[in-house]
Amino acid sequence: MIEVTVDLGERSYPVLIGAGVRHELAHYLPERTRRVALVTQDGIGWASSMSSDARQTTHMISKGEAAKTLATVEMLCEQFVAAGLTRHDTLVGVGGGVVTDVAGFAAAVYYRGVSVIHVPTTLLGMIDAAIGGKTGVNLKAGKNLVGAFWQPQAVLCDTEALTTLPPRELRSGLGELAKYHFLTGDDLEALPLEKQIAAAVAIKAAAVSADEHEQTGVRATLNYGHTLGHALETTGHYDLRHGEAVAIGLVYAARLAQMLGRIDEARVAEHVRVVARHDLPVSIPSSSDPDDLVAVMRRDKKVTGDGLTFVLDGPNGVELVSDVPVDIVIAAMKQLRG
């Protein structure tokens, strides 16, 4: 088992990575907890093995991004009331990023805030969604536009879950993992998967500790590849998982950075190699509309003014870049369309 700490002073918490760590749940529940509300989905099947001395109820949400709505959060909160959950009790999100996003937001708003522990069951959840306290749901206008910063008590990344993931779901997680390869310059590909997960968690934990509420731009670098990725997810039905969309976004961000003179062609090729190594897409769907994508990008949470904002590679590494010209944004899209 590997333990990484997200250092937030009195609100610091551990992230455990290893086989069987879900069975450690009881050790991380706050002492005052009398009831545990498990938020999960059909097919995960771990609810019965998440045991503690507290009374336990299970609350199911639908699968997919369609479940990330205010209506789902309202439904859960109504169920929590019916189950007798108080502000002294604890929510446990067991599932992928949809579950931890929804459970975390529900925890942030129910009784104005109750404790939450995350047990991510996907690679994507383990290295990104469950860590850092960013919770939220979608609006028609875009992803994660309604949410709250609400840190968990602990995150239990049980790698046994990865042995049962469908191949495409695992590849989706590898798309998100590819992002971390470019954030520090470390060769994460050389590590076994459990240590890659721990390294990614450590990178994210350091960014969260330095910039919990995304005030300085440090944490925004974790969104590398996400500006276009989120736009693809929002604007069309391209049959893309989140990690697949991020993979395309990474290659696009590299091409955009090259067109802005920030990196050379060899660095773009490195992005393509890392992404393609996992059999992930490297081109924008040919049916995409650049104008629609730009319209969504203007609503991206990183935007601070009238221009477009991206996280881009460059001579100082990956960093936040504002006021990127729209004509270059569109030209880079056209170069990458499949």
334 is catalytic: no
Rounded CA-CA distance 302/305 in Å is: 9
Q: Which residues pair with 156 in a beta bridge?
A: 16
140 is catalytic: no
Q: Phi-psi category of 327—alpha, beta or left, where left has phi over 0 and alpha has psi -120 to 50? A: alpha
Q: Which of 22, 171, 204, 271 is catalytic?
A: 204
pLDDT at residue 54, rounded to an integer: 82
Q: Which of 22, 59, 214, 233 is catalytic?
A: 214
Residues of 182-213 as b/e, b for ≥16 C-beta within 10 angstroms? bbeeeebeeeeebebbbbbbbbbbbbbbebbe
DSSP tag of 225: T
Rounded CA-CA distance 33/197 in Å is: 30
134 is catalytic: yes
In tens digits, the chain (338 residues) has pLDDT values of 999 999 999 999 999 999 999 999 999 999 999 999 999 999 887 766 676 778 999 999 999 888 999 999 999 999 999 999 999 999 999 999 999 999 999 999 999 999 999 999 999 999 999 999 999 999 988 888 999 999 999 999 999 999 988 999 999 999 999 999 898 767 787 889 999 999 999 999 999 999 999 888 889 899 999 999 999 988 876 788 899 999 999 999 999 999 999 999 999 999 999 999 889 999 999 888 999 999 989 887 666 666 799 999 999 999 999 999 999 999 999 999 86
Q: Which of 59, 68, 118, 219 is catalytic?
A: 219
230 is catalytic: yes
242 is catalytic: yes
Residues of 82-102 as b/e, b for ≥16 C-beta within 10 angstroms? ebebeeebbbbbbbbbbbbbb
214 is catalytic: yes
Rounded CA-CA distance 21/85 in Å is: 25
Q: Which of 59, 143, 181, 226 is catalytic?
A: 226
Helix (H) or strand (E) holding 233: helix 226-235
pLDDT at residue 306, rounded to an integer: 65
Domains and CATH numbers, the chain: 2-164 (3.40.50.1970), 214-336 (1.20.1090.10)
142-149 vs 134-139, strand pairing mode: antiparallel
pLDDT at residue 48, rounded to an integer: 65
Cβ 153 vs Cβ 116: under 8 Å: yes
Please state the pTM of the whole predicted model. 0.88
59 is catalytic: no
Within 94-166, where are the H helices? 97-109, 123-124
Q: Which of 230, 255, 278, 301 is catalytic?
A: 230
55-60 vs 35-40, strand pairing mode: parallel
Q: Which of 112, 140, 237, 334 is catalytic?
A: 112
CB atoms within 10 A of CB 32: 11
219 is catalytic: yes
CA-wise closest residue to 109 among 63, 59, 64, 75? 75
Cβ 198 vs Cβ 4: under 8 Å: yes
271 is catalytic: no
Mapped onto helix, strand or coil, the DSSP state of residue 195 is helix
Q: What's the burial of 220, exposed, middle or buried (CB within 10 Å: 0-12/13-18/19+)?
A: buried
Q: Which of 176, 212, 233, 244 is catalytic?
A: 176
